[in-house]
Structure 1
Amino acid sequence: MKLFIAGASGATGEHVCRLAKEAGWDVHAFVRSKAAASRLDPAYEHSVGDPTDPQDVAQAMVGADAVAVCLGISRQTRSPFAKPVSPLDLTSRSVEAILQSMQSLQIRRIVYISAFGASESWSSIPWWGRAFLSLTQVRHSMIDHTRSEALLASSGLDWTALRPMMLDDSSSSDSAREMKSGDSLLKKVPREALARTVIRALNDRSTIRRPVALVP
């Protein structure tokens, strides 16, 4: 298995790279800057490019068997009120370029890290949670994840959208699990657990062509 990872230098992407390598897979880490590339493990094959440019993406994706998308809209800090520093449509434009490249290269499997609150799951958040998110910069991510999920759903490819509610940086030796009725939305999913779930989902056909809400 050769895995193409978009957003490989991010807080979750770096875990996905490491765990894929530990699983014995070949890794192609795709990042947006030379500075990000300099922080990658030299054991990874990597390239620098614009994830919204189909030509950059396709050149880097040659030879891949599957794709993991760990991109998101960056903010100045992790505060939900911090100003975005990425384009507000970065994720959906990147997904559009990635899907186009996958189709041209005949790659079918993609796992996308979305968020609980995207698409129809927005209505499952309590009113006070929706009110809070609507007042924060996180709303831009929800809007863009919703656009991205629509692109996945219409792609005809074997996609999975993973939807954690909140994330933290605690270590974890377990994957996240699929949310069930009655589960709390306030528990944070460790980014490492999310990354383990990405790796597991890539070979789990029961997750194909559907969103999967996640809890720790």
Structure 2
Amino acid sequence: MHITILGASGRVGQHVLRLALEDGHRVKALARSPEKLAGMSHDRLSVIQGNAVCEKDLKAALEGSEAVVSALSTDGGTALSDSFPLIVRLMEERGIKRLVTVGTAGILQSRLEPGKLRYQSAESRRSLTRAAEEHHAVLRLLESSALDWTIVCPTYLPDEPPRGEYRTMRDYLPEGGSRISVADTADFVRRQLESREFVRARVGIAY
């Protein structure tokens, strides 16, 4: 499969990139800091220096793609919600249906306050909601799109060895879940590229 990875030089993005190459996919990686990928040279990898809010860069990254993985971060501002309308439009124009994106557990449904998302409820322990609001904007956009999207929603993301076993749940964080490693999150993202189980759904992931 020909895959585009956005945010490929980030923590999750680098793991997804490595796993995609191991799976035999051809990958175009869009990265603001391609030097971070210097150790991943491969004949099936094309690294494009660029920004997801730039239409020219995105067009180059999406050329010939069959699926897209977004590991873009909120970056402390509006980069995520600024980039996604462009991403969705360009994917729809090119007939690219499959999108797997990494979100946050804050946009899963709250168990404590039905009808609210976790970041809107007492279930969230975070006092700052900017990142969750950005991901919520992406969720609303994807719900109104024609894409076959999946939003992978991890909770706390430590850098630790993968366990290879974790729990997932549609729309909710698995009960009692409080952490999931970057590596295991990337493993689940990789698996969604060829799975239809969670199409047009959010998925909570935790140990």
Which TM-score band (shorter chain)?
0.7 to 0.9
CA apart distance, 1:206? 1.4
CA contact (8 A) 2:104 2:155 kept: yes
Gaps of 5+ in 1: 75-83
- The corresponding residue for 1:78 is none
Match in the other structure for 1:107: 96
Q: Which secondary structure state, in structure 2, belongs to the residue aligned with residue 206 of structure 1? A: coil
In structure 2, what residue type is equivalent to 1:170? E
Question: Per-residue CA shift, 1:166-200, capped at 9, x if unaligned?
Answer: 111111152643137872132x1011101010111
Q: Percent identity?
A: 28
Equivalent residues in 2 for 1:1-216, closer than 5 Å: 1-36=1-36, 39=38, 41-43=40-42, 44-74=45-75, 84=76, 88-118=77-107, 120-121=109-110, 123-124=117-118, 129-130=123-124, 132-134=125-127, 136=128, 139-174=129-164, 176-179=166-169, 183-186=175-178, 188-216=179-207
Change (3 A) 1:128 1:140: same
Q: In structure 1, what is the Cα distance between the partners aligned to 2:120 and 2:96?
A: 38
Write out per-residue CA displacement over residues 66-109 of structure 1, whole angstroms, 9 at most, x where no aligned residue.
000001123xxxxxxxxx3xxx1111222222111111211000
What amino acid does structure 1 have at the position aligned with 2:88? L
Q: Which whole-Å CA distance do the structure 2 matches of 1:92 and 1:66 have between them?
A: 20
SS at match of 2:106: coil
* Secondary structure at the counterpart of residue 150 of structure 2: strand
Aligned CA-pair RMSD: 2.2
- Give the whole-Å Cα distance in 2 for the aligned partners of 1:174 and 1:167: 15
Runs of 4+ in 1 over 2 A off after TM superposition: 33-37, 119-130, 179-182
Give TM-score scaled by structure 2 length: 0.86
User: What is the number of residues matched between the two proteins?
Assistant: 198
The answer on whether the counterparts of 1:176 and 1:197 sit within 8 Å (CA) in structure 2 is no
Name stretches of at least 5 consecutive residues in structure 2 with no aligned partner: 111-115
CA distance in 2, matches of 1:53, 1:182: 36
What amino acid does structure 2 have at the position aligned with 1:61? L
